[in-house]
Amino acid sequence: MTDETQTFVERYDQIILDSTIRSQYRDSGFYNVGDWSSSPASIEAACSDLVRKHIRQADVNSPDLVVVDVGCGLGDTTALIAASCHQGSRVVGINISDAQVAEAKRRHPDLAFQVMDATNLMFEDASVDRIIAVESMFHFNTRAAFLTEARRVLKTGGRLVTTDMLFRQDSPALEWWVPAANRGLRLDDYPSACRQAGLVVESIDDITATTWTAFCAHLRTIGHMVAADRFEMCVEHYVIITIIL
Ligand SMILES: C[S@@+](CC[C@H](N)C(=O)[O-])C[C@H]1O[C@@H](n2cnc3c(N)ncnc32)[C@H](O)[C@@H]1O
């Protein structure tokens, strides 16, 4: 692991494992902005709705699938995915952080988690049916390297469903948690970025209003006015994408 990656992981762990942040997520193991389109009663219900949206688009309704949850946070995304799959399926949550994987195992001892970098997937060629990456893709160093790995490990007929963020160029969020190579991708250029990795965008939907903007509104309801204003101007597009071979 490079020093830059090590620093990223340490900074990320400090935030995601912080007790104040955990209580903002009502002690769930989620860390995403949620889908607020059905007026969920709580942040963890919104987070679940966002994961369910990925699961529906991934179509896990076949037996014996191999499903990888990339950037699995503290494991609640993996747990929802596993609960939606047929019994014979193999679901693995992966994360670059040892500490987060340890916490995911503590929360879900019956599930499989592995420390792994999204840009260096430890799976055989053509061995994975579904990849789900909930709000993690923009972190990967680089997004393009991850797409190449996804292409390598997916079986024919496989699919990748992910939410991704396209940031404004002057966004303060670009400081350390979005690698330079991932900045500046425009929505119109997404399909060609996937094509370069040998992948095809089946659908791309801009869901900024019901995710990022709605999350900022939620932050204001819990008194985080300054953070909400700062965050709201960071993201140009929050998208959910289904990618096929
Ligand atoms: C916004 S969180 C989303 C967590 C989870 N998917 C959820 O929705 O609750 C992004 C996650 O991506 C992970 N991550 C960042 N870079 C990664 C990489 N290169 N490989 C694997 N995971 C990574 C972070 O550690 C973090 O857990």
Sorted by sequence, the CB contacts under 8 Å of residue 243 that are 6+ apart come out as: 147, 150, 159, 160, 161, 162, 194, 199, 200, 201, 202
Q: Is the CB of 80 under 6 A from ligand 1?
A: no
Q: Which of 14, 22, 139, 153 to mutate to test the pocket of ligand 1 (most atoms within 8 A of CB)?
A: 139
Q: How far is the CA of 136 from the centre of ligand 1 (A)?
A: 5
Closest Cα to atom 13, ligand 1: which residue?
Answer: 71
Q: What is the pLDDT along the chain (245 residues), one digit of tens a residue?
A: 899 999 999 999 999 999 999 999 999 999 999 999 999 999 999 999 999 999 999 999 999 999 999 999 999 999 999 999 999 999 999 999 999 999 999 999 999 999 999 999 999 999 999 999 999 999 999 999 999 999 999 999 999 999 999 998 777 667 788 998 998 899 999 999 999 999 999 999 999 999 999 999 999 999 999 888 888 888 999 999 999 99
Give me the domains of the chain, ranges plus CATH numbers. Answer: 3-244 (3.40.50.150)
Distance CA 22, CA 16 (A): 7
Distance CA 90, CA 94 (A): 13
First to last CA, the chain: 30
Name the amino acid, one letter, at 159: R
Q: Is the CB of 117 under 6 A from ligand 1?
A: yes
What token pair was written down for 55? Answer: 């699961």
What 3-state DSSP class applies to 135? coil
